[in-house]
Amino acid sequence: MDITYHGHSAVSIKTATHKILIDPFITGNSLSDLDPNTVEADVILLTHGHNDHVGDTMAIAERTDAQIVALNELAVYLGQKGLNAHGMNIGGAYDFDFGRVKYTQAFHSSSYEEEDGTFIYTGMPGGILLTIDDKTIYHLGDTSLFSDLKLIGEMNDIDLAFVPIGDNFTMGPEDALIACDWIQASSVVPVHYNTFPVIEQDPKAFTDKLATGKGLPLQAGESITL
DSSP letter (8 states) at residue 198: G
| Dmax (CA) of the chain | 46
Q: Let me know: does 31 contact 7? Beta carbons within 8 Å.
A: yes
User: Pick from 23, 56, 142, 175: which binds Ni ion (CB under 5 A)?
Assistant: 142
- Closest CB 47 distance from Ni ion, rounded Å: 8
- Closest CB 192 distance from Mn ion, rounded Å: 6
Q: Let me know: does 140 contact 167? Beta carbons within 8 Å.
A: no
- Closest CB 48 distance from Mn ion, rounded Å: 8
Q: Which of residues 27-56 bind Mn ion (CB under 5 A)?
A: 52
Rounded CA separation 34/139 (Å): 19
Beta-carbon count within 10 A of 96 CB: 16
Q: Give me the amino acid identity at 165.
A: I
Nearest residue (CB) to Ni ion, 73 versus 142: 142
Q: Which of residues 139-168 bind Mn ion (CB under 5 A)?
A: 142
Nearest residue (CB) to Mn ion, 46 versus 132: 46
Going residue by residue from 12 to 51, which x/- string records binding to Ni ion, judged by CB under 5 A? --------------------------------------x-
Nearest residue (CB) to Mn ion, 99 versus 164: 164
Burial degree of 51 (CB within 10 A; 0-12, 13-18, 19+): middle
- Closest CB 50 distance from Mn ion, rounded Å: 5
Q: What is the CA radius of gyration of the chain?
A: 16
- Closest CB 125 distance from Mn ion, rounded Å: 9
Residues that contact Mn ion, how many (by CB under 5 A) = 2
Nearest residue (CB) to Mn ion, 142 versus 167: 142
Q: Assess 23 for contact with Mn ion (CB under 5 A).
A: no
Rounded CA separation 104/162 (Å): 14
Q: Let me know: does 161 contact 213? Beta carbons within 8 Å.
A: yes
Give kind and range of the element (H or E) at residue 119: strand 119-121
Q: Assess 192 for contact with Ni ion (CB under 5 A).
A: no
Would you tell me which residues interact with Mn ion (CB under 5 A)?
52, 142
